[in-house]
Amino acid sequence: MLEGLRGEISIAELCRREWIVTSLYDSWSKEFLEAGKKQLAGDTTSQATAPEVKELRSESAALKEAVADLMLEKRLLKKSILGDGDDDA
């Protein structure tokens, strides 16, 4: 691909050498250049599918709940060790 884009070799010669048709090379080079433009523009977002997004959101919610449970448990343990704060322990 890069040899053809750089002009190091003719597209026809490159396609013959790699056993591909020029229309396939043209398609690939267009995709390659578009991906490069998106990368340079900072558009690197992943194309996650709806089920993947749903699963990630579910996992995130479960993890947030686990952290909240642990924080509550820590607070309760602190209270039980240090008391209610009435004493100057």
Report pTM: 0.45
pLDDT at position 51 is: 87
Domain boundaries, the chain: 2-40, 49-83
Note whether 24 and 16 are within 8 A (CB). Answer: no
Token digits of residue 1: 């691909």
Note whether 4 and 25 are within 8 A (CB). Answer: yes
Residue 11 has pLDDT above 70, yes or no: yes
pLDDT at position 84 is: 66
